[in-house]
Amino acid sequence: MRSDEFYMYRALDQAHLALEADEVPVGAVVVDADGMIIGEGYNAPVSSLDPSGHAEIRALRDAASRSGNYRLDGCSLFVSLEPCLMCIGAIVHARIARLVYGATEPKTGMVESRANLVAQPWHNHRVRVEGGVLASRSSRLLRCFFDERRAT
């Protein structure tokens, strides 16, 4: 199995695709138990006219389609930004075993910043979490994107 940093770099590759599409640069990949990337996604709610078009959702959909199962047991999700409320719900329902994220999201992050939704006792599935992997790279990419938007 490759390192968390390896897979986070792949998620950041997806974030750069979002940036090229003039979307908020967030990217995600789903990795199976054998270390293979089986799903990829980047933020595209604006261009896809889809409010659920977050990187995590798109990566989960891609992985489910490729694997032929909406339950992604034993898989890990690597995402460049702490997931929101909607994405945490999808992560739990997909039965993701492990969530690894980069930067925290102080306004809407639902793993540590605003709440810890993955640890709630009412969920029928537990997700292991690791935050802060390549956080400075993820943060820098987002900061540059928003600085540029504010300047224009």
Active-site positions read 56
Whose tokens are 């690597």? That residue is 78
Q: Tokens 């969920």, residue? A: 123
114 CB-contact burial (10 Å; exposed 0-12 / middle 13-18 / buried 19+) = middle
Query: How far apart are alpha carbons 94 and 113 in whole angstroms?
Result: 22
Tokens of 114: 């605003």
Check if the beta carbon of residue 124 is closer than 8 Å to that of residue 150. Answer: no
Report whether 54 belongs to an annotated binding site: yes
Does residue 85 contact residue 114 with C-beta atoms inside 8 Å?
no
Query: According to the annotation, is 84 in a ligand binding site?
Result: yes
- Residue positions in the annotated binding site? 54, 84, 87
- Residue positions in the annotated binding site for Zn(2+)? 54, 84, 87
